[in-house]
Amino acid sequence: MSIEARKKIVGELDIKSTHESMIAVINQAADDPPRAWPADLNPMFTSKALAGSAVLPTEGVKRMRDILSELKDSRILLYGAGRHTIELLPVINEFRDSIVGVIDDATGSIGATVGDFPVFPRTHAPQLIADHVVISSHIHEADMWSHRGEFERAGMKVHRLYAD
């Protein structure tokens, strides 16, 4: 297997295409606005548990379950296709009949899935006919909250998990 893997790598990869791919990733990262890491969060992403990692605070599971329980008879969009949402999939799947899809700002997430929920650009939210948007991020919640007017103008109520 290792001989075949080496043949594949040597046959399909070259320094020029690898270099171009790396430059494209760096340019995409450079084009994104800078974001400060919250000083009160541990920067390690090592938790295998459902809650308690840097992206999913210990209270995240309860907060997501509470808000989805409250909204269970509605059509809900989750805002955020990142690690926070992925770690919360066991809770989110309990309410899957209410979830319309996931919206995100990162172009690399669009067209993908989180679990088996499709990911749409934030700008498509009004066309998805949802009643509520639940922000599924701890680290970027404030930035995502700043876009709430777009959803509210479309008749959707926006919910934060962490801001009181």
pLDDT (tens digit, 9 = 90+) per residue, 57-74? 888 999 999 999 999 999
**Contact indicator for 75, 129 with CB cutoff of 8 Å:** yes
What's the average model confidence in pLDDT over 62-87?
95
**Where residue 145 falls among pLDDT bands split at 50, 70, 90?**
very high
- Average pLDDT over the chain, rounded to an integer: 87
What is the model's pTM? 0.70
